[in-house]
Amino acid sequence: AETVPGHHVHENLGVLPRFFLVSEVRRAQSLGETLSVLRAPGFDPRRVAVVEGAGPTEPGGRGEVRVLRYRAREVEVETDAAAPAFLVTSEVYYPGWRAWVDQTEQPLVLTNGAFRGLPVPAGRHRIRMRFAPRILWYGLGLSVLGWGLAALAGVKPLRSRRRSA
């Protein structure tokens, strides 16, 4: 740690990349169990991911991840691993995020208590994650329906007034 007058500057030597592959997945049944595993002495998040509930098949390999495109609502990465691996992100898991591995949709997994994760087959693959919550489309449909009904309700009184005049 460096000392700057009035401030302390710390360097995080253990910072994790935004996207990386791990070779081991541990399953937890609850957030409490997940946090216990994450806090355990010797836990190495560079090698192990903790997933809640029914998780992916056991990976066995590590590999490399290259970011191809990074936008607010869409991320595209390329993975290359000699054996099946598990992609861990340092990005929050939130309903509405969807993922595709080589254009085939795959479910995202709640990883390390708060983040998105995804099993990845061996070899080179393109993975796209996109924030496209279905609730927005439902809301848009209901709004259009509401405006349409309101417009129809406004037309009926106009016709009634014209007939009586």
Compute the distance between CA of residue 1 and CA of residue 104 in angstroms, rounded to an integer: 46
Q: How does DSSP assign 25-43, residue by residue?
A: EEEESSHHHHHHHHHSTT-
- Residue 102 pLDDT: 96
Q: What angle do CA 75, 57, 90 make, to 5 degrees?
A: 30
Alpha carbon of residue 128 to chain centroid: 10
If pLDDT is split at 50, 70 and 90, which confidence band does 144 have? confident
Checking if the pLDDT of 125 tops 80, the result is yes
What is the pLDDT averaged over residues 58-65? Answer: 81
Among the ranges given (118-122, 152-156, 158-162), the one the predictor scored with the smallest mean pLDDT = 158-162
pLDDT, mean of residues 125-137: 84
Indicate the pLDDT class of residue 6, thresholds 50, 70 and 90. confident
**Is beta strand 48-52 parallel, antiparallel or unpaired with respect to 24-28?**
parallel
Distance CA 155, CA 162 (A): 11
pTM for the model stands at 0.74
Task: Give the E-state strand segments of 41-150 in sequence order.
Answer: 48-52, 63-70, 74-81, 85-92, 97-101, 104-106, 109-111, 115-120, 123-131
Nearest to 113 by CA among 52, 59, 46, 56: 52
- Structure-block tokens of residue 28: 């937890």
pLDDT category at 143 given cuts 50, 70, 90 is: confident
